[in-house]
Structure 1
Amino acid sequence: MTYNMLNLKEIKSILFVCMGNICRSPSAEAVFRQKSQALSLIIDSAGILGSHAREKPDHRAQKAGIARGYSFDKIKARKVTEQDFENFDLILAMDKKNVQDLMKVAPEGLQYKVQLFLDYAENVEDQEVPDPYYGGAKGFQFVLDLVEDASDGLIKRLISA
């Protein structure tokens, strides 16, 4: 991927993307929105698939996030659109398959905006945020652990850019 065209100083909007936009990316949106309040960014999330469009985040994701103090108010699933590549400065995918899918729909010349979210994590070796949908509560807690770490790392990079 070509990251060199991305200037973190110019980031004003971030889109978080996973497959269905009901577990990982809304959790990332909720966490990052709270942690980055001082940065005045536009933050949203979307899914590769539109099968959950207009649904609230998975109740297990909400329960885990709310227990840590995050709000899921006004977050509803939606599908990624071509316009998102124009509207957002940085598009952060939860896993490599999401990156591949985003690259297929990205307008020519805008693929550089797509990155793996965990590239910004500082305290974990993982490269991908695993999908907790078919697992138990521990999976949703692990997603939050990863998302919090990557959020902190991204905020540090944005501040120091």
Structure 2
Amino acid sequence: MTDTTNTKQDRIRVLFVCMGNICRSPTAQGVFRQLVEQAGLADRIEIDSAGTHAYHVGEPPDRRATETARRRGINLSDLRARRATVEDFHAFDYVLAMDRDNFRDLSELCPPGLSNRLKLFMDFAPQAPVREVPDPYYGGPSGFDRVLDLVEAASAGLLKDIRRRL
């Protein structure tokens, strides 16, 4: 799929990407999935997540991310890490990097002519005080709450953007 024009019948496909696909991107997948379901758009929007590195392929999200999300009513238990591929740029309308490092890695992976699909996730939350979702992996529990706050803000903006395309 190289054409970014979607008709009313097409599904919009969204891919969230962080480094290992066990903290930020699965959190974004879970938050956005719930938001899409609540909006009644689950049949119109496909959601996935991936990592720029293969450190955790096949593993569930980090237990701290899972627990933090669970406290907010978001289920991540069915998600498993995978690595982003060149094919993802053909399959997804939105390839959303959590930070500039992952954006750079994805830019190097992106085939010619598809760079318009790659964006920083926080660009969908222009009111937020930061432009990147920080990696909470080596920090304490408050980092996972911060990630959820940022992901929730950007997810609302992303859904608004997608509604314009549906």
TM-score between the two structures when normalised by the length of structure 1: 0.91
* 124-133 vs 34-43, which moves further: 34-43
Aligned length: 157
> 1:103: Cα distance to partner?
0.6
Distance 1:72 1:8 in 2: 29
Q: Deviation string for 1:59-113 (max 9, x for gaps)?
A: 0000000100001132100000111111111100000111100010111111111
- Aligned position for 1:33: 33
> Is the Cα contact below 8 Å between 1:15 and 1:44 reproduced in 2?
yes
Alignment root-mean-square deviation, CA: 1.7
Letter of the 1:75 counterpart: L
Distance 1:83 1:105 in 2: 10
> 1:130: Cα distance to partner?
0.2
Q: Deviation string for 1:110-151 (max 9, x for gaps)?
A: 111100000001441210000000000000000000000000
- Aligned position for 1:21: 21
Distance 2:5 2:149 in 1: 27
User: Does residue 111 of structure 2 align to residue 115 of structure 1?
Assistant: no
> 1:156: Cα distance to partner?
1.6
Q: Deviation string for 1:10-64 (max 9, x for gaps)?
A: 7610000000000000000000000012222110000000110000000000000
- Aligned position for 1:75: 79
Show structure 1 runs of 5+ residues with no match: none
- Equivalent positions of 1:96-135 (< 5 A) are 96-135=100-139
> 1:160: Cα distance to partner?
3.5
Show structure 2 runs of 5+ residues with no match: none
> Is the Cα contact below 8 Å between 1:122 and 1:149 reproduced in 2?
no
> Is the Cα contact below 8 Å between 2:26 and 2:76 reproduced in 1?
yes
- Aligned position for 2:58: 54
TM-score between the two structures when normalised by the length of structure 2: 0.89
Letter of the 1:60 counterpart: R
* 107-116 vs 130-139, which moves further: 107-116
Letter of the 1:137 counterpart: P
Distance 1:8 1:155 in 2: 15
What SS does the corresponding residue of 2:17 show, helix, strand or coil?
Answer: strand
Letter of the 2:88 counterpart: D
Distance 2:117 2:56 in 1: 24
